[in-house]
């Protein structure tokens, strides 16, 4: 967390989904056809254009548009891999982050409202629903970028979420694994925390006044 700590106890927590509550890795979708070495190269945007294509997906653009971007700008095996990734997307959902479900449960039991704010293609989110772990459905409400054509770190999606959830940002923790999203959340007035582990988030939320159990053995 950076500098939006007002000293007041938090009343709400907004969680990112991917690699905060649920493990997402393109490896899971691609390993059935491609080597780990090639998958690691595919992660490099300058080679494959994957990140650029993923932005289009997050914004709710047609998936074919993302595939065509990679075909046009990079071609070859990268376009083939993008198609395979999209067609096998549910395999990239690798279960919940250990400790996340109990953390959310403890927050809810303490009377703290919990929400989700995720960059995710609407089409791919629908495909992934049967694979998503229970923790995703424990949210009181959620904003998923592809449905509203807004994405983090743009300010408008934070304003949309704050309004939809009807929360005071100064009393709301926002948890995300990407530093640019944490910075944007902070600028939106949220008490932004970069995710490292559920244990780290639990301790930070306790420090912010959340009446949830500390981990046993923690010093």
* Whether residue 73 sits in one domain with residue 142: no
* Whether residue 192 sits in one domain with residue 110: yes
* Whether residue 197 sits in one domain with residue 164: yes
Phi, psi (5° rounding) for residue 193? -130, 130
* Whether residue 126 sits in one domain with residue 18: yes
- Domain boundaries, position 184: 12-23+95-207
CATH of the domain at 117: 3.40.50.1000
Residue 218: pLDDT band by 50, 70, 90 thresholds?
confident
Residue 54 lies in a domain: yes
pLDDT in tens, 197-206: 999 999 999 9
Give percent of the chain above pLDDT 70: 96
* Whether residue 202 sits in one domain with residue 147: yes
Residue 7 lies in a domain: no
Residue 7 confidence (pLDDT) above 70: no
pLDDT in tens, 120-164: 999 999 999 999 999 999 999 999 999 999 999 999 999 999 999
pTM of the model: 0.94
Residue 150 lies in a domain: yes
* Whether residue 45 sits in one domain with residue 145: no
Phi, psi (5° rounding) for residue 190? -80, 160
* Whether residue 184 sits in one domain with residue 128: yes
Query: Which residue, of 87, 115, 133, is where some domain finishes?
Result: 87
* Whether residue 58 sits in one domain with residue 120: no
**Structural domains of the chain, count:** 2
* Whether residue 140 sits in one domain with residue 48: no
CA distance 60 to 147: 6
Residue 1 confidence (pLDDT) above 80: no
Residue 44 lies in a domain: yes
């Amino acid at each position: 967390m950076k500098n939006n700590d007002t000293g007041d106890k938090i009343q709400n927590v907004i969680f990112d989904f991917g690699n905060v509550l649920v493990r997402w890795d393109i490896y899971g979708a691609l390993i059935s056809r491609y080597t780990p070495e090639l998958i690691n190269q595919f992660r490099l945007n300058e080679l494959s254009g994957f990140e650029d294509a993923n932005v289009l997906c997050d914004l709710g653009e047609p998936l074919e548009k993302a595939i065509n971007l990679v075909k046009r700008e990079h071609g070859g095996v990268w376009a083939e891999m993008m198609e395979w990734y999209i067609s096998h997307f549910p395999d990239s959902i690798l279960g919940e982050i250990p400790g996340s479900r109990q953390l959310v449960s403890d927050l809810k039991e303490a009377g703290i409202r919990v929400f989700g704010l995720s960059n995710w293609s609407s089409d791919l989110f629908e495909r992934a629903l049967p694979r998503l772990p229970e923790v995703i459905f424990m949210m009181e409400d959620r904003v998923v970028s592809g449905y509203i054509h807004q994405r983090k770190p743009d300010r408008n999606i934070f304003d949309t979420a704050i309004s939809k959830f009807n929360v005071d940002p100064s009393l709301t923790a926002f948890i995300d694994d990407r530093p640019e999203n944490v910075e944007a959340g902070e600028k939106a007035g949220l008490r932004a925390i970069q995710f490292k582990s559920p244990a780290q988030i639990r301790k930070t939320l306790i420090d912010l006044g959340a009446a949830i159990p500390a981990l046993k053995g923690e010093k």
